[in-house]
Amino acid sequence: DAKTTQPNSMESNEEEPVHLPCNHSTISGTDYIHWYRQLPSQGPEYVIHGLTSNVNNRMASLAIAEDRKSSTLILHRATLRDAAVYYCILSSHGSSNTGKLIFGQGTTLQVKP
């Protein structure tokens, strides 16, 4: 399974943009890049995912490098409720079709008021 590398922690001020980086240099052509976040004592919550092109949704934007070896999750205006552990995950959707998500340690985002 291809691995991802994220910083252990990041800090942001409320109402400022946040850029959460992720490196995935061993990504394969069939790997989707997924982002999830987890609040304490809750299951992970889907944020966004993409394959090659940048993606936008109501929660965030995902910027994918042209060589796909890195990506950045962008929260346009951080709020206190965005404080969570953010996981960048590669999910293979090749012939095996397991789509399994292997979680790393993630980035703990702190948002300061």
| Nearest approach, Cβ of residue 76 and another protein (Å) | 20
| Cβ proximity of 65 and 50 under 8 Å | no
Q: How far is the CB of 34 from another protein (least distance, A)?
A: 7
CA distance linking residue 61 with residue 42, whole number of Å: 23
The per-residue DSSP string of 29-48 comes to TTEEEEEEEE-TTS--EEEE
Any contact of residue 46 with another protein (CB under 8 A)? Answer: yes
Nearest to 60 by CA among 17, 28, 98: 17
For residue 8, state whether it binds another protein (rule: CB under 8 A). Answer: no
- One residue of 8, 42, 53, 95 binding another protein per CB under 8 A: 42
3 binds another protein (CB under 8 A): no
Q: How many residues bind another protein (CB under 8 A)?
A: 23
User: Which of residues 44, 64, 78, 109 is near another protein by CB under 8 A?
Assistant: 44
For another protein, the binding residue among 7, 23, 32, 74 (CB under 8 A) is: 32
C-alpha 101/C-alpha 49 separation (Å) is 12
Contact 60, 75 (CB under 8 A): yes
| Residues binding another protein (CB under 8 A) | 32, 34, 36, 38, 41-46, 49, 87, 93, 97-106
